[in-house]
Amino acid sequence: MNTDGVKRGRQVIESALVVHSGALGDTILMLSLVRALREAGIPRVSVLNRGCYHPLLKMCPDVAECHDIDTGGFHAIFSADATIPDRIIAMLGQFDLIINMLADSAGVARNRIVSIGVPYVVDINPIPRSSMDRHITRQWLDDLRQALQPKVLKVSGASPQPRLSFTSQSAEAIGVSEFPDSATTFFQAHPILRPNLFAVLHPGSGSRAKCWPLENFISLAKSFNDAKRPCAFLLGPVEQEQMAGEQIVSLEGAAPVFRCDDLLQLAEFLSKAHTIVSNDSGIAHLAAALDRPVVVIFGPTAPRRWRPLGSRVTVMSTPLDWPTTDAVVEAVIC
């Protein structure tokens, strides 16, 4: 990889900023674009997005810096009348390329960023076009290539896998001496669940419509038990809020349930799993970025557009209905 910057004409692109404000899964996919910029030869690529995701992004070797879009006056760049604080002007002005992935149909943000003196400003719509029949990251890369042209930046057509890593270096970047082993108590209570020898079943999603029926997950857990393959359910904040108490009790009757409210804790738990079975969710994208084997169950959403990226991702999908429990069991256990 060229780490000296990309020189096109008289402008050397040494730094880029990606502006984004999506949910967890979209944020992970955005890292594919960040990695593509790095592989194109830009040595420093930073991200301006929601601060709640910064602990995860600091685990990404492709991200140089994270800036919080919700604090410090960044909202001013999206208003034609607001005064942009001097420190925001100075921060944005240090970049050679800024990619805006927020809604800006009137071009207000683009014009204001250009007025600061940023050489290249590109708007990328994060929403798939109705005519697009490929992965959403391919659309983003196509739009970037079309906006800049090869004379400015030569970006590959392939979507690289987002990558997150639990290492001493990434722990230092987050500001901790080491990653917390927050699942220790859970593993002590369930000694059958040994690191890298158990499966994680994630029955939730940000949208109820994307959730494989809960009884299917319970049947899947029982199939794991019958095959002497340890497994555990994972419930994040969304599932803990959406699921009724009796639903959680039914899960506990089939397998241990790990409740998780923290992103680092979640990433740590996933990194210890042998396999993750999940609905189309941010957790599936996170597991893929951690390079864990993931089986993703799709229903109404199109996997060709939204599947997690990675060589260890298996997609379970049928044209008109949910995959059967037997089909998932065969893919995961047999």
Q: What is the pLDDT of residue 176?
A: 63
Q: Tokens for 280, please give them.
A: 């189309």
Q: What is the DSSP string of 152-210?
A: T----SS-PPP----SHHHHHHHT-SS---TTHHHHHH-TT--TTSSEEEE---SSGGG
Give per-residue pLDDT as tens, 285-315.
999 999 999 999 998 778 999 999 999 999 9
Give per-residue pLDDT as tens, 217-234.
999 999 999 999 999 999
Query: The pTM is what?
Result: 0.92
Terminal-residue alpha carbon distance, the chain: 40
Structural domains in the chain, sorted by start: 6-148 (3.40.50.2000), 180-332 (3.40.50.2000)
**Which residue stretches of the chain have pLDDT < 70?**
1-11, 167-173, 175-182, 334
Q: What is the pLDDT of residue 1?
A: 32
Q: What is the pLDDT of residue 156?
A: 81
Length reported for the chain: 334
3-state secondary structure of 217: helix
